[in-house]
Structures are given as structure tokens and as C-alpha cells.
Amino acid sequence: MSNLYLVFTSLLLNLSVGSCDREAQVALVDLSTLQEGTAVATFGGGCFWCTEAVFERMIGVKDVVSGYTGGKKENPTYRQVSYGETEHAEAVQIYYDPEVVSYEELLEVFFATHYPTQKNGQGPDIGYQYRSAVFYHDDQQKELAAAYMKKIAPNYKKPIVTELNPFTKFYLAESYHQNYYELNPGNPYIISVAKPKVKKFKKLFPDKVKAKYN
């Protein structure tokens, strides 16, 4: 790895963390109020700015929010999570119509648009908070995720290290993180890291892209 790449990576990390280095209120998501006909999936695929942008563009997805899950600390802040001070992962919660898109399809897109063989990190984002993880909401999701990972494992040269954990709590990230990709198109991190993932999604799954994003 060249020194230039290391410097560039460090710059991206400083820009992404520094641009959000302020405290704000987080909120615990209450799934008991979930509307009928809406299902939920929770994935950790590195920086939530990227993962949120990908799934916002997927047909059948009603909404995507960024937040923190997988740790025990209550009401974690972005600063605490991004500096590895909690066991939480940056993650997204996906609200979707199961009559339009299946959980298996969500898994397919998730694994195709991040690096499931990279342990405790995604690209330039390094740390347990950026781990690859599926947080299942019931036994069916657990079985489907396990079966899918087994199915695609031969496609990779390295072992899949995606964690398969039960969902516990999801804390909605600070408001300035929501819809970050759309609101900050000029951010260097968005340009160099997030946009390539969105382009990959659109290239691999043209039939799954919402019309307004074509």
C-alpha cells in the first residue's frame, strides 16, 4: 500500500468524521408502531451514508434510516461510535414492502454492494464499528441470511466474515446523518466512496432501481 494512498485515506476519514463532529440527540426506534404491510431489515455494511443511499434507490423499499446497533451502550453518539468507544456498528434500518421485494433480494443487494470478506472495516473505514453484520429480527431472517452466505461463499477468495446477530435495539443517528448522500453530493467521502457503491448497485441490479433514480 503506497504512502499516498494512506494519506488520502486518512484525509477522507478526517473529513467524514470532522464534518459530523458535533453532538446531537439520538433516539431509540420503537418497532411496535410499525405499520401493517411493512417489514424491517437491519444491516451493517460500513459507513451508513453509503448503505442508506444504495437501499433508498431500491424498488419496494419504503424508507431507510441510519443509526447504531449491536452494542450495549444506551443513546450512543456519532462521535462515540465512530471513535470505537462503543460496541455499536453503524447500520441502516430498512422498511420495505414484502409484497414487492423479498428479504432474500435485500440480502443479495447488501452483499453485492459492500465487502463481506473485510473484517472490522469497509474500504477506508477501519474499526469494529464498521463491521459487516446482519441483525436478524426473527428465525426466518436468520435462516435466510445464513443460507445466503453459504450460497455465495464459493464466489469469494477469502472467507465471509459477516456477523449474524439477533436484533436488539436500534438508535436513530443524529438528524444530519439522515439522507446524507443526497444532501451532501460534494463531500469528498461521498464522491470517492459512496458514489461508486451506488453506481455498482445500479449496474448490477438495473431492474431493481426506482424510476426516479434512473
SS3 89: strand
Bridge-partner residues for 64, per DSSP?
94
Q: Is 47 a catalytic residue?
A: yes
Which residue is catalytic, options 12, 29, 39, 47?
47
Phi, psi (5° rounding) for residue 45?
-135, 40
SS3 64: strand
DSSP string, 143-189: HHHHHHHHHHGGG-SS----EEEE---EEEPPGGGTTHHHH-TT-HH
User: Which of 101, 127, 103 minimizes the C-alpha distance to 42?
Assistant: 103
Strand ranges (DSSP E) for the chain?
Answer: 27-28, 39-45, 61-69, 89-96, 121-122, 125-126, 132-136, 163-166, 170-172
Catalytic residues: 47
